[in-house]
Amino acid sequence: MLAFARLVRYVSLRILILLGFTLAIVPLVVTLVAAVRTVDGLALASQMLAHRVAQLSQKNEKLRERLVDFERQAKRHLVLEDADSLADLEKAYQSFVEVLDDLWSLARNADLMVLVDRLKGDGEALYRRLSAQSEEAPNPPGAPAKRRSPAAKEQALEASRARIEKADELFSSLGGQARELSHAVSIVAEEEVKDLETRAQTAQRRMLVEASILLPASLVLISLLTFLIIRSIRQMDFAIRKLGAGDFVRPIKVVGPKDLEYLGERLDWLRSRLRSLEEAKQQFMRHVSHELKTPLATIHEGTELLADEVVGELNTEQRDIANILVSNTQKLDALIAELINYSQVNARPSALRREKVDMGRLVTTVVEDSQIRLRAKSISVKGTIRPVLVEGNPEQLRTIVDNLMSNAIKYSPTGGTIRIGVRQVGGHMELEIEDDGPGIDPEERKQIFEPFFQGKAAREGGIGGTGLGLAILSECVAGHHGKVEALEPRSDKRGARIRVQIPLRQED
């Protein structure tokens, strides 16, 4: 199999598929051809047997007719004892012999041939005896009739009667032999029919054996070629998912047909390019954050000194301007921190530490840590939180729950309710959070996970934010090969409803 797999690497996918179909069809064609030939042979043998049995039956029936005619002509000759009756007797005998010769030529059974030869020999002996009696007759054919005394006539009648009785006895023996021959013909026909049935059953068993060997061989070939093709496609799928998850470190190698291997090489080239771009982006973010944070810290400290009137008393307008500067420097500092966090989440998620995390306990911890903000707005938390173990990075899983919880608190009205559900669905952990806020516009449900996107509810409600919270959440979910989506609100609700699904076990 390894040699075959190495050979596959030198052919294209198209040739491999054609080769697979050919190798799968050949055994089926061989089975079909063998079955057709077997059926044709059985059909020809059946036709020949039917024709031969019909001929045997016909000749057997004709033999009985010729035997009856032979007996009738023999008795007629014994009565008339003339040349004409002798000629008719000879014709009847020759017809009888011809039928026997035909039966012998049709017979393929030694016992049947013996019966035909015996009947033919006894018939010939009887014919010679009748011919000899004709020559010994007291008034041979063509001779003038002689006067006979009453005693002589009586003696002649007695002799004729005796010859006829003897002929009856001999013909009765021939009839018995003819019936025995007829019975033997029936037995031979039945045996040949049974032989044909045996041949048909043998052919059927042989075809079943051939099919039981060739069909599994076809299935094995199909399975092997399918495995070789699917293996390459799965390798490509795995590589694409790794690229999508931000893993640009491990080289991509696809083993299989040469065109799929070529695609694997192109994917590896794409991985190298993405890795270079990611490293350039990370370097840019580090430089920018460093270059921005230092002057921003100076500006922030200076504005705070001005607002605190350390350098001198300010009038009302100056104090308002100083407070605006302080507020905006704080927002800018928070934005830079979010950008750095976002870039760190994007950078090589596969290199992060992974361990078993109880999502039920994690959600409960986040809810407890959010109690101050919940009480400030009199928000209650309800739902079913079940223990579900997930293999992942604890910090990123915490970020997912934190961001969802913060988003729900931020948009929930005073006195509202946040509904949380944590459960296992198949091989996934499902986390769902729903609030009583203004909800998400249907047209924005796919955009809310994009960086810096501010929804209609945030703009109209004057709710501040960087627009990176849900984007960071989405990257954390993607790093765990999961899925996040904004769902339709329940029939009796209108708030935001977001669901996160993460596999319980991460693929390497």
What's the predicted TM-score (pTM) here? 0.48
Q: How far apart are alpha carbons 294 and 290 in whole angstroms?
A: 6
Residue 311 burial class via C-beta count within 10 angstroms: exposed 0-12, middle 13-18, buried 19 and up: exposed
The whole-number average pLDDT for the span 382-408 is: 91
Q: How much of the chain exceeds pLDDT 90, in percent?
A: 14
Q: How far apart are alpha carbons 444 and 486 in whole angstroms?
A: 9
We find that the CATH architecture of domain 14-139+149-229 is: Up-down Bundle (1.20)
DSSP 202: H
- For residue 127, give the nearest of 92, 169, 83, 172 by alpha carbon: 92
Convert the pLDDT of each residue in 153-175 to its tens digit: 566 667 667 777 777 788 888 88
∠ CA 447-449-454, rounded to 5°? 65
The whole-number average pLDDT for the span 2-13 is: 60
Best-predicted range by mean pLDDT among 28-32, 126-130, 183-187, 372-376?
Answer: 372-376
Q: How confident is the model at residue 30 (pLDDT cuts 50, 70, 90)?
A: confident
- For residue 175, give the nearest of 103, 69, 38, 284 by alpha carbon: 69
Q: Does the domain formed by 258-346 have CATH 1.10.287?
A: yes
Domain parsing of the chain, residue ranges: 14-139+149-229, 258-346, 352-503
Q: Does the domain formed by 352-503 have CATH 2.40.50.140?
A: no
> Comparing 14-18, 150-154, 386-390, which segment has the lowest mean pLDDT?
150-154
| 502: β partners | 429
- For residue 107, give the nearest of 63, 147, 150, 67 by alpha carbon: 63
Convert the pLDDT of each residue in 438-495 to its tens digit: 888 888 888 888 887 777 766 665 566 667 778 888 888 888 888 999 888 887 778 8
Q: How far apart are alpha carbons 162 and 160 in whole angstroms?
A: 5
DSSP 378: T
- pLDDT given for residue 155 in this prediction: 65
**Helix (H/G/I), strand (E/B), else coil: 423:** strand
- pLDDT given for residue 159 in this prediction: 66
78: number of Cβ within 10 Å: 20
Q: Is the pLDDT of residue 360 over 80?
A: yes
DSSP secondary structure of 150-174: HHHHHHHHHHHHHHHHHHHHHHHHH
Q: Is the pLDDT of residue 436 over 60?
A: yes
- For residue 405, give the nearest of 393, 415, 420, 395 by alpha carbon: 420
The whole-number average pLDDT for the span 406-425 is: 91
Q: Is the pLDDT of residue 145 over 60?
A: no
DSSP secondary structure of 340-366: HHHHHHHS-GGGS--EEEEHHHHHHHH
∠ CA 488-493-494, rounded to 5°? 65
Q: How far apart are alpha carbons 70 and 130 in whole angstroms?
A: 11
The first and second tokens of residue 259, run together, are: 């065109």
